[in-house]
């Protein structure tokens, strides 16, 4: 049951740490989900971005992307590369949160509360197909709309989203485009939670699913290699 006496998180050392120039959530997964549940129900506008080794290395080279990351209310640890980085900066991580696995947990909350969802991103037809799959798994979600990531008029997309006022907006346009779009239009978006979800629509729309165990193993190896490539001197 949701605790309405819940205190909204402050950006202090209890729930957040810095890895280099990036502030990262350090709380446990369940605590994060409870905080996001509270923010959804109380309509507290929030951005959720994910950080893996590739994102960290990209942010070191792209000041605009770094600025957009740090403007977000939540940056979640995605992968072994960030775990290694946390050790390098003497910061402990509670656990790794893979974005593709974490997104369905947020959708469960949306389903529980019978709230609305909008999907933005992917190739033409992918978001629509992902929406069908999501609705089959979470039938109490209200699918308010969708749009592929190859739109030509961002203002029209903004108007379409604001017309339906979804509780949750998932944006899957790749790094750093999705974070840039969300940050640029954040103040104008009439949405409560906005998540940058990368390739989630591709996975959600696919008939072929990779087992969670295999997915985690592959991710851990890839992230470790990416982190070493980004930090070792050549």
| 117 assigned to some structural domain | yes
CATH number at residue 35: 3.40.50.2300
pLDDT over threshold 70, residue 79? no
Model pTM score: 0.85
Read off the tokens for 146. Answer: 């969708």
In a domain, 7, yes or no: no
Report DSSP state, residue 141. S
Residue 234, domain member (yes or no): no
Q: Which of 61-75, 83-97, 116-130, 185-199 has the lowest mean pLDDT?
A: 83-97
pLDDT in tens, 85-127: 555 445 555 566 888 999 999 999 999 999 999 999 999 999 9
Q: What total number of domains does the chain contain? A: 1
Tell me the pLDDT tens digit for each residue of 6-41.
677 765 567 888 888 999 998 899 999 999 999 999
**Residue 11 domain flag:** no
Q: What residues make up the domain containing 155?
A: 16-228
Residue 167 lies in a domain: yes
- Does residue 4 lie in a domain region? no
Q: Omega of the bond prior to 32 within 30 degrees of 0, cis?
A: no
Q: Is residue 6 part of a domain?
A: no
Q: Where are the alpha helices (DSSP H) in 93-211?
A: 99-112, 126-137, 154-164, 177-185, 200-205
- Within-domain flag for 118: yes
* Averaged pLDDT of the chain: 85
The sign of the torsion formed by the CA atoms of 7, 8, 14, 15 equals positive
């Amino acid at each position: 049951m949701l605790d309405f006496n819940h205190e909204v998180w402050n950006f202090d050392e209890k729930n957040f740490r810095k890895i280099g120039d990036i502030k990262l959530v350090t709380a446990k997964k369940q605590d994060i989900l409870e905080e996001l549940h509270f923010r959804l129900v109380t309509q507290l506008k929030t951005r959720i971005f994910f950080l893996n080794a590739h994102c960290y290395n990209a942010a070191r080279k792209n000041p605009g992307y770094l600025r957009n990351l740090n403007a977000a209310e939540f940056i979640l640890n995605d992968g072994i590369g960030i775990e290694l980085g946390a050790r390098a900066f003497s910061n402990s991580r509670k656990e790794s949160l893979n974005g593709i696995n974490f997104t369905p947990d947020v959708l469960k909350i949306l389903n529980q509360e019978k709230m609305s969802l909008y999907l933005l991103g992917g190739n033409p037809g992918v978001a629509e197909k992902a929406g069908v799959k999501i609705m089959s798994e979470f039938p109490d979600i209200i699918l308010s709309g969708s749009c592929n990531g190859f739109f030509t008029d961002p203002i029209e997309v903004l108007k379409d989203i604001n017309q339906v006022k979804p509780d949750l907006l998932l944006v899957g346009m790749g790094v750093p485009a999705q974070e840039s779009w969300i940050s640029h239009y954040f103040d104008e978006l009439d949405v409560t939670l906005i998540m940058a979800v990368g390739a989630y629509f591709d996975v959600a729309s696919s008939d072929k699913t990779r087992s969670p165990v295999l997915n985690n193993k592959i991710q851990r190896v890839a992230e470790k290699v990416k982190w070493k490539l980004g930090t070792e001197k050549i």
